[in-house]
Amino acid sequence: MSEAEQVPASVPEAAAVLDALNVTDSNATEALNATVKFVATPEGTALAYGSLVVMALVPIFFGALRSVSCSKSKNGSDMPETITGRDAARFPIIASCTLFGLYLFFKVFSQEYINLLLSVYFFGLGVLALSHTMSPLMSRVFPESFPNKQYQLLFTQGSGESKEEIVNYEFDTKNLVCLLISSVVGVWYLLKKHWIANNLFGLAFALNGVELLHLNNVSTGCILLGGLFVYDVFWVFGTNVMVTVAKSFEAPIKLVFPQDLLEKGLGASNFAMLGLGDIVIPGIFIALLLRFDVSLKKNSRTYFYSSFLAYIFGLGLTIFVMHTFKHAQPALLYLVPACVGFPVIVALFKGELTEMFSYEESPPEEEASKEDSSESEKKDQ
């Protein structure tokens, strides 16, 4: 989401991360209404909900912007992972199997030990994700006189002509500083499980997920969102599996904000929550529409802004329904129709619906091979 979250090595690994994110998104919404032991003030509720909305918008907006440059990157550490139509069709099935597997694990094994393993696992992912997120900012903060050395981590398999690259990661001294800072946050999270540390990791996961997971076309996006729409509704309304997993799962895969912050300050403990699945899943579709806007070369971002506003509308509607009926709501039930419907309506009015659905992104490997072949043709000429 994140690089396994940071740099997804393959579509199946990316799917594994995303389905874990989606496990908690709807269940986290139920916690928004957990008022049995604590009744939030209107001010506290408004502050919590408003903060969650802002925190959801930040990784989508900046992740989408970074996805444009990421799609053109030739650096192995920054190249995106492309989700095809086949991947999108299998994704809800993989997510369902993973969710039910987690449910069985929590039923059979000790919750304490499982969450200990999950904390260590997400510690590593979170450090990498946060480091990758901070790198562009740190590059501007450091003075030009800073001694910045370049490094390359290269693992190969075989020898001679059969040698194959397994890992090829380029980094510099600034990246190492970011890694150190991220490690401090990681230790803070492991020791205290503080909500601010949780949110730093969560925002990093979400931003990197939107940046590095790319849909290859709009049709694939519709398949993915449609499948997860059914997945989300079924596991929230049809069974208690998702609720059980969400209550047992302790990991920075959700954004939280205390509803009693005004009363208790940073030590507040009654949280409103939003799962990262509700951010990353629509976010990668919104990022695709931004890249489509760029491909039109019209100096406008019509589809990006329409889908971004649609996301705000869908998320606001989700919170309104939860707050009104005091019942868990699958956020994708509202987000998917909004994020898909608004841009399609805009395309119909502009007469660009066919162009939108015919837009295709090639995987980075194919783009690289096309560039290599075109360069060789120029040399031959």
Q: Which of 336, 60, 56 is nearest to 221 (CA)?
A: 336
Paired tokens of 130: 């946060």
Q: Where are the domains of the chain?
A: 3-145+177-367
β pairing state of 150-157 and 164-172: antiparallel
Return d(Cα 346, Cα 216) in angstroms, integer.
21
Q: Is 255 helix (H, G, I), strand (E, B) or coil?
A: strand
Q: What is the residue-level pLDDT of the chain in tens, covering all 381 positions?
A: 333 333 333 444 444 444 444 433 333 434 333 334 567 788 888 999 999 999 999 999 999 999 998 877 655 556 788 898 899 999 999 999 998 988 898 888 878 888 888 888 888 889 988 988 888 887 777 777 778 788 878 888 887 777 787 777 777 888 888 899 999 999 999 988 899 999 999 999 999 999 999 999 999 999 999 999 999 889 888 888 887 887 777 888 889 899 888 888 888 888 888 889 999 999 999 999 999 999 988 888 999 999 999 999 999 999 999 888 877 778 899 999 999 999 999 999 999 999 999 999 865 555 545 444 444 455 555
pLDDT at residue 365, as a whole number: 52
How far is Cα 112 from Cα 261, in angstroms, rounded to an integer? Answer: 28
272: which strand partners?
Answer: 257
Residue carrying the six token digits 């329409």:
306
Q: Give the whole-angstrom CA distance, residue 209 versus residue 89.
A: 19
| Side-chain-side CA neighbours of residue 301 (13 Å) | 14
**Which pLDDT score, from 0 to 100, does residue 182 have?**
93
pLDDT at 366: 53
Instruction: Give residue 338's pLDDT.
Output: 95
Residue 38 pLDDT: 62
Classified as helix, coil or strand, 319 is helix
Catalytic positions, written as ranges: 232, 278
Q: Which residues contact 194 (CB under 8 A, 6 or more apart)?
A: 188
Burial code (b: 16+ CB inside 10 Å, e: under 16) for 87-102 equals bbeebbeebbebbeeb
User: Checking phi first, is residue 297 left (phi over 0); if not, alpha (psi -120 to 50) or beta?
Assistant: left
Determine the pLDDT at residue 75: 57
**Alpha-carbon torsion 372, 373, 374, 375, what sign?**
positive
Task: Record the tokens describing residue 6, joined without a space.
Answer: 């940071």
Is residue 255 within 8 Å of residue 203, measured between CB atoms? yes
* pLDDT at res. 76: 53
